[in-house]
Structures are given as C-alpha cells and as structure tokens.
Amino acid sequence: MAAVDHLERPERERVNRFLVGIARGVAGALLFSIPMLMTMEMWFLGFYMERERLLMLLVLNLPLLVGLSHRIGFEHTATWRESARDAIVAYGMGVLASALILVLLGVITVDMAPREWVGMVAVQAVPASIGALLGRSQLSMRDDDDTEEDEDDPREAPKTSYATELFMMAVGALFLSLNLAPTEEMILLAHKMTAWHALGLLTLSIFLMHGFVYALAFRGGHSLAEGTPGWHAFIRFTLPGYVVALAVSLYALWTFGRLDDLGTAQAILTVVVLSFPAAIGAAAARLIL
C-alpha cells in the first residue's frame, strides 16, 4: 500500500500543479484583458468587423498560443502535443472569461443577435487567451522545488534561439497592439503628426527598445559578451525587433479595418504611432517571458 501511495503521489502533485496553473491562467486572462473588456471600441468590433479578418485572427492566434505555451505554459511541457493541449485550454479560458465579464457588465444581452455576441466574445478571447498563458510567468511564486525544476528544464535555460527571441517580441508587440489598434486615438494622433513628428517617434521607439533590454540591464535582459561591440546587439536584436513591431502594428490595424479609408501617407503615420507601444511591448516581452 505504501508503495502504491508513493507512486501516486507524483501524479497527484502533477495534477495539483496543473490546477494551480489553470487558476493562474484565469487570473491572467482577467488581469490582461480587463482594459479591452471595458473598452467601447472593442465591443463594437463584434458588430462590424469583417468576419474573414476575424477568422484569420482567431486562426493565427492558435499557433501563437502553442508556441507561447511551449515556452511558458500552465506547466512544464515536454512535447508539442502537451503545448497544444495547454494552448486549447488557454483559448477556452479566454472565451469563458470574456463571455462572463461581458455578460456581467451588461454588454451582452439576451436580445442580442448571435452574430453580434459571438463576434464580441471572439475578439476579446484573443488577448484574454494570451493573458491566460502570461499568467504563469507573471503570477507564479517560485519555491525551492520550482527552482530545481527550472534548473533541470532546458526550456528555462537562459539561452534561447534567435527565432524564439523574435517570436517572443512579436507576442509582446501583438498584445499591446490589440489594446490600442481598435481605438480612434491612433488615427487622431496620426492626423495631428507631421513627417518630422513621425521620424522623432520612430527614433524614440528604437531608443527605448534598446534601452529597455540592454542599456538599463533589467532583469531578464540580454548582456553582451565581453569584447562584443555595442552596435552588434543594436543590429541583431533592436532593429529587427522594431521591424517586428511595425509588422505587427500593420497587421493589427488592417485586421480591425483602421487602414481601409486612409491614404498611404496617413496609413504609414498610423502604423508608426501604433508601433510606439508595440515596440515597448516587444522589448518588455523579452524581459518577462
């Protein structure tokens, strides 16, 4: 009997860790999606957003969640199959959390057409599902056992591939872009700006990206090896990171239809405006994920 209990104990501990991860995921989904759940522009997207673009966003979010889960899922995952399971669970939590909050806030009502509330929940579920996975890294409490696991787990090793670096920057950029891309302020700010304003904002965005990770030496930042010239990190990480932020900003604005009625110059200015918070999100993602 003692031997059986000894064999079952690791399994119970694994289940308990997974349940704790689920709880953290729910908390993360709420914590990171509340600003969007209480933003009017996000509600109205469910009414008028093109369904093809919404479907594309939902489909692209799934592999993003799988990759994110493989890095910081609810529990340490050894295979991509386990990462896919965690990603689906996170997506489900994002849907449920978004629907629950929108109902409690009175945004979704019984007389609303299914097309409307389905669209509203679908849009909100994307940032909520990302927040559910981010909840593990942001809300977890490390104890001695966790530290030992992390030392044995190659996924938690300080070195990551270059592709993973860019992927995590894209996640951070997308997360902040989803907050701001639907708002009218992005277009209004672009309308007020000149080309010189845009150039100054672009320069500041790149400067902040580089400073966030390297110059300020934040926890999780990437120190340069001794003898490595400073421009190496700038060329290898900061500039590609800003290009990633620009691409994510362009995609987010296109997805929400914010570029449809704009001229080329105005659209470029709008992308530059959104790339400012996107660049900060990209840099911050490399620090905390």
- Return the residue matching tokens 């965690």: 86
Whole-angstrom distance, CA of residue 175 vs CA of residue 4: 46
Whole-angstrom distance, CA of residue 83 vs CA of residue 73: 7
pLDDT band, very low/low/confident/very high, at 248 (cuts 50, 70, 90): very high
Interior angle at CA 145, CA 139 and CA 146, nearest 5: 35
Asked if 182 and 35 touch (Cβ cutoff 8 Å), the reply is no
For 9-40, what is each residue's pLDDT tens digit? 677 777 777 777 777 777 878 877 888 888 88
Q: Is the pLDDT of residue 250 over 90?
A: yes
Selected residue with higher pLDDT from 262 and 141: 262
Selected residue with higher pLDDT from 115 and 245: 245
Query: Cα–Cα distances in Å, from 13 out to 27, 142, 178?
Result: 21, 16, 36
Q: Is the pLDDT of residue 158 over 50?
A: no
Torsion of CA 219, 174, 134, 71, to 10 degrees: -80
pLDDT band, very low/low/confident/very high, at 112 (cuts 50, 70, 90): confident
Q: Is the pLDDT of residue 142 over 60?
A: no
**Greatest mean pLDDT range, 56-60, 111-115, 283-287:** 56-60
Say what the pLDDT of residue 152 is. Answer: 45
Q: Is the pLDDT of residue 46 over 80?
A: no
Q: Is the pLDDT of residue 286 over 90?
A: no
Asked if 25 and 74 touch (Cβ cutoff 8 Å), the reply is yes
**Mean pLDDT computed over every residue of the chain:** 79
Taking residues 80-102, report their average pLDDT: 85
Say what the pLDDT of residue 159 is. Answer: 57
Rounded to whole angstroms, the maximal C-alpha distance in the chain is 77
> Which has the minimum average pLDDT: 99-103, 132-136, 255-259?
132-136
For 175-229, what is each residue's pLDDT tens digit? 888 888 888 889 999 999 999 999 999 999 998 888 876 655 554 555 555 666 6
Asked if 74 and 83 touch (Cβ cutoff 8 Å), the reply is no
Using only C-alpha atoms, the chain has a radius of gyration, in whole angstroms, of 21
Taking residues 261-269, report their average pLDDT: 90
Pick from 212, 193, 214, 213: nearest CA to 270: 193
Interior angle at CA 189, CA 186 and CA 193, nearest 5: 135
Selected residue with higher pLDDT from 230 and 235: 235
Say what the pLDDT of residue 49 is. Answer: 83
Q: How many separate helices (H) and strands (E) can be counted in the chain?
A: 12, 0
For 49-74, what is each residue's pLDDT tens digit? 888 888 899 999 988 888 888 776 55
